[in-house]
């Protein structure tokens, strides 16, 4: 696989219109994250390919903990406000790892309620089998899937971002069992990439969790000051992996074997190029 680093952001916009794989990385701070996200969404005309289509948004809502364990509700708000006037239908959904969690009390669900957007706890929806593993079909009723992951370290998987975000689309009762069998877990994550055609990743790395993915598992919140946009979930994960040198991320290795290595053009803002040097 080749990352072709370029300096022309207009070239990324052109690639997006032609459905070529692209990744954009820029710097953000807590105070300006939504403003900066808006600037790059406009520069890239990021949501244009979704015009007139039905769209399912997949946040990370694995836990009752708030951002950065789970998706920033204000990022979701920004995306929904843009997509409500662009898409024919918009819905948001996920299912938690915590069995007793009330999804509808999470800030992400509250934003959906405020904006009048359908929100679903996927535990109440139909599943089908992917091999021996039940996965939720509802996202596949939509023409496009948008993923809103948070880049974090993970004490089992090494790293969690775009591909691992799909794991919330498996039925909850198998997840803990798979976390106790890391090799099977990594293969399932890789397989999910082929089951759910995510067309856009809006990846938050402004703040992250180090050592573990949640506070309850020993995760420590730190600042990364980055945001990543891409139409290529596997490729953006492979690039983000460079932020965690030395981390073994087997689900990405399995995914490369399953789907092959594809080239992607990459634009990185000047002041964060050092991160990927």
Task: Read off the pLDDT of residues 134-152 as tens digits, 9 standing for 90 and up.
Answer: 999 999 999 999 999 999 9
Q: Is residue 195 part of a domain?
A: yes
Q: Is residue 199 part of a domain?
A: yes
Residue 246 has pLDDT above 70, yes or no: yes
- Return the pLDDT at 1: 65
Provide mean pLDDT across the span 194-205. Answer: 97
Give the pLDDT confidence of 116-136 residue by residue, as tens digits.
Answer: 999 999 998 999 999 999 999
In the structure, what pLDDT confidence band is assigned to residue 62 with cuts at 50, 70 and 90?
confident
- Return the pLDDT at 179: 72
**Nearest-5° angle of CA 107, CA 110, CA 112?**
115
Per 3-state DSSP, what percentage of the chain is helix, strand, and coil (rounded to 5)? 40, 25, 30
What residue numbers bound the domain in which 98 lies? 3-271
pTM: 0.96
Provide mean pLDDT across the span 265-275. Answer: 94
Domain count, the chain: 1
Average pLDDT, the chain: 94
**Nearest-5° angle of CA 9, CA 268, CA 50?**
55
Q: Is residue 18 part of a domain?
A: yes
Torsion of CA 92, 95, 193, 10, to 10 degrees: 30
Alpha carbon distances (Å) from 174 to 61, 96, 117, 142, 187: 17, 12, 29, 25, 14
d(CA 239, CA 241): 5
- Return the pLDDT at 191: 97
Task: Please confirm whether the linkage preceding 68 is cis (ω < 30° from 0).
Answer: yes
Q: Is residue 276 part of a domain?
A: no
Percent of the chain with pLDDT over 90: 83
d(CA 43, CA 133): 40
Give the CATH number of the domain where residue 173 resides. Answer: 3.40.50
Q: Is residue 277 part of a domain?
A: no
Length of the chain: 277
Residue 200 has pLDDT above 70, yes or no: yes
């Amino acid at each position: 696989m080749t990352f072709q680093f370029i300096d022309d952001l207009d070239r990324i916009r052109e690639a997006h219109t032609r459905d070529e794989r692209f990744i954009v990385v820029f710097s953000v701070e807590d105070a300006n994250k939504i403003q900066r996200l808006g600037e790059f969404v406009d520069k890239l005309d990021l949501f244009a390919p979704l015009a007139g289509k039905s769209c399912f948004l997949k946040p990370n809502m694995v836990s009752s903990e708030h951002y950065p364990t789970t998706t920033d509700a204000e990022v979701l708000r920004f995306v929904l406000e843009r997509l409500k006037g662009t898409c024919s239908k918009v819905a948001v959904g996920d299912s938690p790892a915590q069995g007793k969690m009330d999804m509808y009390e999470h800030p992400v669900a509250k934003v959906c309620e405020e904006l009048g957007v359908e929100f679903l706890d996927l535990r109440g929806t139909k599943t089908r089998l992917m091999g021996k593993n039940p996965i939720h079909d509802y996202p596949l009723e939509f023409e496009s899937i948008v993923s809103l992951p948070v880049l974090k370290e993970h004490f089992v998987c090494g790293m969690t971002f775009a591909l691992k975000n799909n794991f919330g689309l498996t039925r909850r009762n198998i997840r803990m069992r798979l976390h106790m069998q890391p090799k099977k877990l990594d293969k399932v994550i890789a397989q999910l990439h082929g089951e759910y055609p995510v067309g856009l990743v809006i990846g938050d790395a402004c703040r992250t969790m180090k050592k573990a993915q949640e506070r309850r598992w020993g995760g420590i919140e730190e600042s990364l000051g980055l945001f990543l946009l891409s139409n290529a979930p596997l490729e953006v994960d492979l690039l983000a992996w460079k932020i965690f040198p030395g981390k073994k991320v087997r689900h990405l290795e399995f995914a490369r074997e399953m789907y092959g290595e594809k080239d992607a053009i990459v634009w990185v803002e000047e002041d964060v190029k050092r991160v990927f040097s």
